[in-house]
Structure 1
Amino acid sequence: MTTRQPLAIEVKPVEKGSASYETTRAAILTELASKIPKECLLPQEIIANPPLDVTDIPRTCGILSQHELDITEKYDAVALVQATSTGTLSAVDVATAFCKRAAIAHQLSCCLTDYFVEEALERAKYLDEYLKTHGRPVGPLHGCPISVKEHLPLKGHYSSWGFLVTRSFSEEDSLMVRILRDAGAIFYVKTNQPQAIMHLECTGFHGRTLNPSNISLSSGGSSGGEAALVALRGSVLGIGTDIGGSIRGPAGFCGIYGFKATAYTLPCKDFIPGGFAAELNVLASTGPMASSLRDAELFVNVIKAGKPHLEDPRVLPFPWTGFDTKIDLPLKIGIMTHDGQIVPQPPVLQALKWAEQQLSGVTNVTTKPFMPYKAATAMSSIRKAYWPDSGLPDIRACEATGEPWHPLSDWIIKDVKGERERTGSEVNELRFARDTYRSEFAMDWNRQDVDFVLCPVFVGPASAHDTAFYWNYTALFNYVDYPGVVFPTPVRAGKEKEEYPAEFSTPLGPEDEHVRQMWRESNFENAPINLQLVARKHHDNELFGALAILKDALKLQ
């Protein structure tokens, strides 16, 4: 049993609730701490006095053997599966290495909500025996460790939809988890998410997840636990969900790959018991968070091969062609420098400039400026569209246990908080406004004559804690339901603050001025800068086909 408190680095405590809430929360955290093996505990000095960038600690702390370092650092999911499917690596060795590294990652970032090494090793032993006996792997993910976001039901473990009162034991796997399990995956951890699963920072009853590259910054949300774990190489492949940027934001904050599919491309069956009122107006999506682009395609290949549409009729049964998708040339790529409301902070502008320069030398690729259609209108509409119930169930969920209302929860709900639930007619008005905007957005995209749009992921690098206010560059594409892939660039924020370019010296409005103020006041040193490539709705295959063409120019793995 471990007794050290806190188990993980804490740079800014989360809000405190009632005495009974804090007692229950402490018991949950103690239970998780008790599952971390003593041999995986970092020195107390690291927890008490951590460096700003903790990404090198798993490599240098001495807990992992050289073989375990090689397993967790030299393979992506595709390479791991090839190794475990041929016996080059044993599934037991792979599971052991990632379990140990995940334990380290949690202490550095507070990224986990559950940890079950014995279950993982039992599964790994079965997979090794199966390969030895049958001479073939169980499936296309044989021996691949996969991390799972907290709210996705995983048999034998707890899940919640972001509030303590919703925490419940899962008797069965959700559909996506079952497909991955049948394909040979090894499950070993669940990862942190925010209160209400509705803001771009993981703060909730499991704690605050930190950005491994700069712990004074957020890892993003709502799939921020996944992003931090992958960034620390405690996972190579995980499951995220996205209704406003919850895959793409964390992937961008932490410098990894993330894919938000068009809604119903991949299954979300059983992800939230009782459904999610926001989906009356804005559809949630799901997808992989990964250490390489080809891992993201592997994930989608496996899920689509599992024929989820036969069990979840919402899923569209179109075939997945991915990287092999034939694309009409030349590719016309719109460069979206800003959205007309907020100019992104200087490192993001630098990354866009880098990408445009890289693409300028690619045969059959042309670039042109792109401005999204009335983005400010979309952002105003989506803030209300998320809450047809005015957030009343969320408020009641907090009241039930004395759970504190977190600052970013308050921010996202402020436009509707205190109102009554909307009537059917009022919800219909919101949907009609959404669909009207979608049609106008599509026509304007056609008018600008682009195939894909390259744009920021966020208004800056990863946000300082409790300041992820502006989701403009991701939520816009949830509103129109366009797929997007987020990928790393070589650009990182510097120690010295870069100035805004002369052409953007004047703020576009109060939101832009607020973002500039945060740029001046926060420390973004070493923060990764990712970009996002977006395609039209249902053009998910074409998106991956285009990325196959752009892969070398954009230095994608």
Structure 2
Amino acid sequence: MSPAKIPRPAAELAADAIAVRDSTIPAAYRLPKNTQLPKNVTTVLESSGILSAAELAIVDLDATRLAEAIAARKYSAVEVTTAYVKAASVAQQVTNCLVELFAAEALERAAELDAEFERTGKVTGPFHGVPVSIKDHLDVKGHDSPSGFLDMIGNVAKEDAHMVEILRNAGAVFYCKTTNPQSLMHLETECYLGVTASPWNTDLTAGGSSGGEGALIGMKGSPIGIGTDIGGSVRSPAAACGIYSFKPSVRRLPYGGANIPVGPAGYEGILGTHGPMARGVDDLEKYMRLVASTEPWKRDPTVVSDPPSLDVKPWREVTPKRLRVGILRDDGVVRPVAPIRRALDAAVAKLKASGDFDVVDYAPFRSADNWEIISALYWPDNGKAVYDHIAGTGERVVPLTEWIISQAGGRQRSTEELWQLVARRDAFRSAFAAHWQAAGIDILLTPVGPSPAPAHNTARYWNYTSFWNLVNYPAVVFPTGAHVDPATDAEDGAYSPRNDAEAYVYDCYDAAQSEAAPLCLQTVGYIGYEEETLWATKKIVEAIQK
């Protein structure tokens, strides 16, 4: 008899995966081994000497301006792709944001686009030559989709995800896949590849679960990327890394080709959505316009237009109006810490000073109930699918994996209990819609979380983002341009926390540790009003960033 095959230790499997990933970074773009890195690594791209002055100018452009420059023949697709391969290589080495870099494939695609442009005189589509990064659990043909689990290495995609296909047909160049956490359910990004850090302060999280996208774009290693969001997963990383992101209402974008290995197939108690992560509101709208123009509902019957009274159209044009902006300062459970309060106060002052907005206070609505419902809906199997994947290799259980699963209550629910939860979800949505309409607002301005990017392994308060997943409202995150300043942003210790969740957040926050963390805010619109939400956000950002 042949001896039984002995499984390799998880640590060896992880080390091999890291070595394979690292081997995809071209040798010419590697930092010297003795490089001393500052905590704020956003300066390393320029100081590294890896990118030329012309390439630094390329990666300074947002996706919209980059597409325009390529169409105007200022840059070729090969020049742009080369610049972003270099920038992504540096970003990986300082933030640990990549699962794979596929430079040769990207440059071949870029050369084909250049040749086609030269032959026809026409761009392939609105993203012609624009590099686009992809969150790991989304399928890109010919590439792995481990989705944060060691046992899923080798899960090579045979076809592009629907969203990836749309972008490829529009001329996008795919060149890398970015990290997401074990379980896909953290506001932190940690898996067998290690921890992804914020480029503004590597002692802090890059957010999650699209943390690799956040760190990469925050380092100017990508002009635009695709993330996913079921509890804050494009918004938390945007806030942690100082970029923009958009979570549309569920079913506005197609979701086919997203690997969801953390729950039972067919479960719809709570659903996620794709969302763009980028450098500006124009980029978010460009992405949404592209997807809508392909009429994805003709291929994916789950894609609908909400509310039902609206005609199904590629994209509705918004009629300009004076905006009534609601201000949510405190969700009623955890009051934001000092720098978030400062950023919101400054934003409100600018909106009022502009004279272009009606600014009103907005009362929180049953935040604790919201978390109780959504945290139970996340785990109908009490995490069984997650632990089955972990058992496949014996990999280490990340602490935040255990924590978020524990929020489900520690047991698997019966069919009847799940029905009751979904009924509670629907009743909550109806009650909240009445609350919103009674407030009479067009758009809400709110924190993204109760603190700036938290220290690693401490991100445990989700409700400033997950609230909008339960009610299914579109939400945008944008940077204010301000950052944590230890001289002004320390808590004085006089405030007495109202509950354990608030005490935890205040105990974890330290102004000195959080130095340079970006201060971002969130706008929220009514369900199905993606066009209006982005238009209103653009007006708000223009006023705040003056």
Q: Is the 8 A contact 2:253 2:273 kept in 1?
A: yes
Q: Is structure 2 residue 393 aligned with structure 1 residue 378? A: no
**Is 1:313 equivalent to 2:304 in the alignment?**
no
2:528 partner SS: coil
**1:326 maps to which residue?**
319
Larger mean Cα displacement after TM superposition, 149-158 or 78-87: 78-87
SS at match of 2:109: helix
3-state secondary structure, aligned to 1:216: strand
Cα drift, residue 67 of structure 1: 1.3
Aligned residues: 532
Aligned: 1:303 with 2:291: yes
Tell me, what secondary structure is at the counterpart of 2:543?
coil
Q: Which amino acid is 1:115 matched to? A: L
Please tell me the residue identity of whatever aligns with 2:428. Y
TM normalised by structure 1 equals 0.92
Partner in structure 2 of residue 529 of structure 1: 519
- Structure 1 residues 362 and 101: CA distance shift in structure 2, 3 A: same
Q: Normalization by structure 2: what TM-score?
A: 0.94
Structure-to-structure mapping, 1:15-164, within 5 angstroms:
20-46=9-35, 49-73=36-60, 75-164=61-150
Q: Answer whether contact 1:343 1:508 (CA < 8 A) is retained.
A: no
8 A contact 1:326–1:545 mirrored in 2: no
Give, in angstroms, the shift of residue 275 of structure 1. 8.4
Match of 1:368 among 335, 360, 364: 360
Deviation at 1:466, TM superposition (A): 0.1
Larger displacement relative to structure 2 (407-416 or 526-535): 407-416
The runs of 5 or more residues in structure 1 that have no matched partner are 1-17
Q: What's the secondary structure of 1:487's corresponding residue?
A: strand
Equivalent residues in 2 for 1:178-189 (5 A)? Answer: 178-189=165-176
State the match for 2:239 in structure 1.
252
1:514 to 495, 499, 504: 504
Which residue is 1:491 aligned to?
482
Match of 2:3 in 1: none
Cα displacement string for residues 466-511 of structure 1 (whole angstroms, at most 9, x for unaligned residues): 0000011000110101110000002211133624489x82322221
Equivalents in 2 of 1:550, 1:415: separation in Å? 35
2:235 corresponds to which letter in structure 1?
R
Q: Is the 8 A contact 2:264 2:385 kept in 1?
A: no
Q: Secondary structure at the match of 2:41?
A: coil
Distance 1:264 1:459 in 2: 28
The Cα of 1:451 is off from its aligned counterpart by 1.8
Partner residue, 2:4: none
Preserved contact between residue 451 and residue 535 of structure 1 (Cα < 8 Å)? yes
TM superposition shift of 1:363: 3.9
- Asked whether the equivalents of residues 464 and 522 of structure 1 are also in contact (C-alpha less than 8 Å), the reply is no
Correspondence for 2:348 among 356, 366, 389 = 356
1:44 aligned counterpart, secondary structure = coil
- Alpha-carbon distance between aligned partners in 2 of 1:274 and 1:198, rounded to the nearest angstrom: 11
Partner Cα distance (2:489, 2:360) in 1? 25
CA displacement at 1:550 relative to structure 2: 2.6
Q: What is the deviation of 1:142?
A: 0.4
Amino acid at match of 1:463: P
1:273 Cα shift?
5.6
Secondary structure of 2:542's match?
coil
Please report the RMSD computed on the Cα atoms of aligned residues, expressed in angstroms.
1.8
- Is 1:398–2:390 an aligned residue pair? yes
- 2:537 matches 1:544: no
Unaligned 5+ runs, structure 2: 1-6, 306-311
- Aligned-partner residue type, residue 547 of structure 1: T
Q: Deviations over 1:109-146 (max 9, x none)?
A: 00000110000000000000001000101111100000
d(CA) in 1 for partners of 2:150 and 2:175?
22
TM-aligned CA deviation for residue 419 of structure 1: 2.0
Identical pairs, percent: 37
Is the 2:474–2:526 contact (alpha carbons within 8 Å) kept by the matching residues of 1? yes
Whole-angstrom distance in 1 between the partners of 2:337 and 2:410: 34
Q: Which amino acid aligns with 1:30?
A: A
The verdict on how the C-alpha distance between 1:486 and 1:241 changes in structure 2, with shifts beyond 3 A counting, is: same
Query: Are the counterparts in 2 of residues 333 and 452 from structure 1 also a CA contact under 8 Å?
Result: yes
Q: How far does residue 388 in structure 1 lie from its aligned partner after superposition?
A: 0.7
